[in-house]
């Protein structure tokens, strides 16, 4: 657990109360803090109505989709090619995890509305939430299948083998997990037609286990079977603590025609009742509906000790997730100053509409798009008059991108070493003539990983900026899945000043990535630093004295 020097909290603090729940009258609040462990992680960044009653909130969103004429489909429909029969289709998938009782509550609500969906279930839980499917569990799932629901296997085979061990995964563990996979699927098939599977996340990489070919069971995760995703226009998941920057309500309210995938975890919506899976972590945190005779904490796990063990295990085996979570803060020094205006929203929507479909599938909602954050940042924090230098020119066809978000009193010029991009200055910012000293009211740089010596680039940006001028910077974090050094240590290198310069720079060669631990070394000389982490990118607003 971590609290920064300015008293901002990380979002993995188990005692943290979500901002949108803080000001709700306790008599209205049905959400409650629970011990944090795998399969039962709470949501920290939902709308205030969610915290008033997560169950009602969820079905309000579902009912909105129905009012839009949505047709609900399953993975069985996708595999059979029985899709595209309605303008708006929703592929709704539930990963049960630790939410067995929660899933049953949600199933009953969906069944009453004539909705079908996909349920991905374990046959047995694992170390962090141990259970076996009961007769009642099997009965409602059979009922679901009779109502054209798809029942699939949520592969936790390696989690069952690993438990709470942090030892490296070897061939013997994978071999044993493969047998567990087969046994689980065959056991489930005694009750259901299990034709599909997904891999459970949590602390263990269950995706390392290859489905035995003899089972003829199809993986539907995008990285396993990308062909199943060709007709899916967007995706949404509520996994983890804050796996998406938009709330469920924001996602459904902005839905357009097409096929859209939703991965929901039933615990997050249906747990908050007397019949939930996990109770409040302490009596003083229990809503009034609990009275004095309800269960407190978790029935099948010793709450506080299990929470500590799980978070420590997560830190040891999933360093990239721990790192990215440790970068997140409730304090938002940059985005808290964003301006909400109709012209800005118009330009964002216009530019997003020009994006390739492949890009929009990666960033299906604009608030998760790092470039949108950049546009909002320059709109809010760039100087309102004067001359701004953009280092790293956009292609000629995209020249209006940055200008669309700057004041009409700004003149914008580009600098780039690539003449084909038609910059105003064909030169390297690291080697500019002295005539450029103190020339610009502001400077923008979004391509720092491409400089062999980033510290020199930042220092040169400082040199060409006028006293009182503003620097705006964006660059990839070490946690970035494609460009981060945690995932790609041989070609993506964590920056530190001692490692400069980096040779053979290029997208297909070597690039820098940046840890939050050494940004102070990078911005020496700049003052009034505002730093924010979003979407595996660092964003910085700085000033020159």
> Residue 420 burial (CB < 10 Å; 0-12/13-18/19+)?
exposed
- The neighbour count for residue 100, using CB atoms within 10 Å, is 22
Q: How many folded domains does the chain comprise?
A: 2
In whole angstroms, give the CA distance from residue 396 to residue 394: 6
234 and 155 within one domain? yes
**Is residue 441 domain-shared with residue 531, that is, in the same domain?**
yes
Among 244, 269, 294, give the residue marking a domain's end. Answer: 269
- Residue 242: inside a domain: yes
Are residue 209 and residue 116 in the same domain, yes or no? yes
Q: What pLDDT sits at residue 305?
A: 75
Task: List, for residues 16-70, the tens digit of each pLDDT value.
Answer: 677 788 788 888 889 988 888 888 888 877 889 999 999 999 999 999 999 999 9
- Smallest CA-to-CA distance from 195 within 238, 144, 150, 262 is with 150
Is residue 235 a contact partner of residue 263, using CB atoms and an 8 Å limit?
A: yes
The answer to whether residues 355 and 207 belong to one domain is no
Q: Does residue 317 lie within any of the structural domains?
A: no
Last residue of a domain, one of 245, 269, 293: 269
Residue 172, in any domain of the structure: yes
218 plus 350 within the same structural domain = no
Compute the distance between CA of residue 36 and CA of residue 303 in angstroms, rounded to an integer. Answer: 8
- Name the band, by pLDDT with cuts 50, 70 and 90, for residue 286: low
Give the integer Cα–Cα distance in Å for 399 and 397.
6
Q: Which domain holds residue 55?
A: 40-269
In a domain, 163, yes or no: yes
**What are the tens digits of pLDDT across the range 104-117?**
999 999 999 999 99
Residues 259 and 117 in one domain: yes
141 and 52: one domain?
A: yes
Least confident of 275-279, 284-288, 359-363, 533-537: 284-288
CATH number at 444 reads 3.40.50.150
- Whether the CB-CB separation of 277 and 267 falls below 8 Å is answered with yes
Tokens read off for 433: 């003539």
At which of 243, 269, 295 does a domain end? 269
Q: Is residue 300 part of a domain?
A: no
Residue 10 belongs to some domain of the structure: no
- Same domain for 343 and 213, yes or no, is no
Same domain, 256 and 364: no
**Tens-digit pLDDT profile for residues 419-458:** 999 999 999 999 999 999 999 999 999 999 999 999 999 9
Q: How confident is the model at residue 1 (pLDDT cuts 50, 70, 90)?
A: very low
Asked if 94 and 119 count as a contact pair (C-beta separation under 8 A), the reply is: yes
CATH number at residue 119: 3.20.20
Residues 116 and 262 in one domain: yes
Please give the distance of CA 106 from its chain centroid, rounded to a whole number: 24
């Amino acid at each position: 657990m971590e609290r920064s020097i300015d008293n901002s909290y990380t979002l993995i603090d188990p005692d943290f109360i979500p901002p949108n729940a803080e000001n709700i009258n306790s008599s209205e609040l049905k959400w409650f803090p629970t011990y944090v462990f795998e399969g039962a992680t709470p949501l920290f960044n939902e709308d205030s109505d969610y915290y008033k009653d997560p169950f009602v909130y969820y079905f309000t969103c579902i009912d909105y989709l129905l009012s839009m004429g949505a047709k609900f489909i399953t993975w069985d429909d996708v595999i059979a090619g029985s899709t595209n029969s309605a303008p708006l289709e929703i592929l709704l998938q539930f990963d049960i995890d630790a939410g067995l009782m929660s899933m049953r509550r949600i199933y009953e609500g969906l069944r009453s509305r004539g909705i079908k969906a996909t349920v991905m279930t374990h046959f047995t839980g694992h170390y962090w939430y141990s259970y076996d499917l009961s007769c009642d569990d099997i009965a409602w799932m059979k009922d679901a299948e009779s109502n054209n629901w798809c029942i699939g296997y949520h592969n936790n085979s390696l989690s069952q083998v690993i438990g709470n061990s942090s030892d490296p995964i070897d061939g013997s563990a994978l071999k044993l997990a493969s047998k567990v996979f087969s046994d689980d699927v065959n056991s489930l098939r005694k009750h259901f037609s299990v034709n599909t599977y997904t891999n459970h996340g949590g602390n263990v990489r269950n995706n390392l286990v290859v489905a035995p070919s003899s089972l003829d069971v199809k993986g539907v995760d995008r990285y396993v079977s990308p062909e199943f995703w060709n007709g899916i226009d967007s995706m949404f998941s509520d996994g983890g603590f804050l796996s998406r920057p938009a709330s469920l309500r924001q996602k459904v309210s902005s839905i357009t025609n097409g096929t859209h995938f939703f991965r929901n975890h039933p615990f997050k919506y249906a747990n908050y009742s007397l019949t939930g899976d996990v109770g409040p972590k302490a009596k003083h945190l229990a809503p009034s509906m609990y009275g004095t005779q309800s269960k407190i904490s978790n029935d099948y796990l010793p709450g506080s000790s299990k929470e500590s063990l799980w978070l420590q295990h997560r830190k040891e085996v999933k360093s990239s997730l721990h790192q990215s979570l440790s970068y997140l803060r409730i304090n938002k020094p940059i985005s808290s100053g964003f301006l909400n205006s109709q012209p800005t929203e118009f330009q964002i929507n216009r530019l997003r509409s020009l994006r390739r479909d492949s890009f929009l599938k990666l960033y299906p909602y604009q608030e998760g798009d790092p470039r949108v954050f950049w546009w909002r940042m320059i709109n809010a924090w760039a100087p309102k008059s004067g001359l701004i230098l953009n280092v790293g020119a956009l292609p000629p066809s995209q020249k209006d991108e940055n200008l669309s978000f700057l004041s009409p009193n700004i003149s914008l010029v580009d600098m780039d070493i690539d003449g084909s991009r038609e910059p105003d200055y064909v030169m390297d910012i690291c080697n500019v003539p002295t005539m450029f000293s103190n020339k610009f009211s502001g400077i923008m740089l979004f391509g720092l990983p491409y400089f062999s010596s980033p510290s020199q680039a930042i220092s040169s940006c400082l040199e060409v900026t006028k006293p009182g001028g503003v620097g705006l910077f964006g660059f990839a974090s070490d946690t970035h899945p494609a460009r981060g050094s945690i995932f790609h240590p041989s070609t993506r290198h964590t920056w530190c000043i001692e490692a400069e310069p980096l040779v053979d720079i290029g997208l297909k060669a070597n690039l820098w990535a940046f840890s939050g631990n050494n940004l102070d070394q990078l911005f020496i000389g700049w003052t009034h630093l505002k730093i924010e982490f979003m979407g595996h990118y660092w964003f910085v607003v700085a000033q020159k004295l």
